[in-house]
Amino acid sequence: MTMRLRIGAAGLAMAVTLLAVSTAGSASEAQTIREALAKVLPDAKPTSVQPTPIKGLFQVEIGPQVMYMTGDGRYLIDGAIVDLETRENLAEKAQNEARQRAVEALGEDEMIVFDAPNAKHQITVFTDIDCGYCRKLHQQIDGYQAEGISVRYLFYPRTGVDTPSYDKAVAVWCADDQRAAMTEAKNGNPVDSKACNNPVQRHMELGELMGIRGTPAIILENGQLVPGFVEPKRLVQVLEQ
């Protein structure tokens, strides 16, 4: 079983084992699920536990992550749940919605935004200053804006905290003109380093929870995750599907 929770393989195996033998008290099913999770994943605080169309199965959200559990707290399911009548993947839809809520909860005050003059769409992009395809994406920022797509940047330096890529992200955020600094950095030019309160590490933590593995990682308006570079005209087609 593959889970998106940021726990190791040994911890996951223990969690699944303990969930299988957990016992419920007299609490409601939702509370039973919370109690079962608290025993095996004490740091994972569900933000939502809701019934699904399937009797006895509950949708559990932990920030941008979605999983499913039985009402007795015994079984955890991580994977596709497809309505064969509508052909809709309920799990994918729920995951997209949870991802989008997490992005919007962060707020544009913690993003660097390149607004389109006549915006019809917006995307949120996890970016790394030193990533080649991230630079290619930014080199076409005018093309996205011309297609009516506003671009909102979050930082995801793949090398981690306290590395040159991380320091460049902080320097861009702390610059007097963040957009100009982003463009300079993406062009490989140095940006004067300043220290300031910045959200770079929060961006990275959110990306980790979302399972981001590479950059650029594009979050569409509906919360769908599109990995990699997509040129402007193709992206607007995806957005308008």
pLDDT along the chain (241 residues), means of 10: 42 43 53 88 86 90 90 87 89 92 94 96 98 98 97 97 96 97 96 92 95 95 96 96 83
Catalytic residue among 99, 135, 152, 158: 158
Catalytic residue among 99, 128, 152, 174: 128
Longest dimension (CA), the chain: 62
Please say if 158 is a catalytic residue: yes
Please say if 174 is a catalytic residue: no
Catalytic residue among 134, 135, 152, 174: 134
Amino acid 41: pLDDT: 83
Identify the CATH class of 9-87: alpha beta
Measured CA distances, 20 to 16, 68, 213, 227 (Å): 6, 14, 30, 34
Say if residues 196 and 188 touch (Cβ distance below 8 Å): no
Q: Where are the domains of the chain?
A: 9-87, 110-239
Give me the residue label for tokens 């920030």.
63
147 token code pair? 């297609």
Please say if 134 is a catalytic residue: yes
Helical H segments across 187-231, by residue range: 200-210
Amino acid 216: pLDDT: 98
CA–CA separation, 152 and 171 (whole Å)? 17
Same fold, 9-87 and 110-239: no
Helical H segments across the chain, by residue range: 9-21, 29-40, 90-106, 132-139, 141-146, 164-174, 178-186, 200-210, 232-239
Catalytic residue among 131, 135, 152, 174: 131
Q: What is the CATH number of domain 110-239?
A: 3.40.30.10
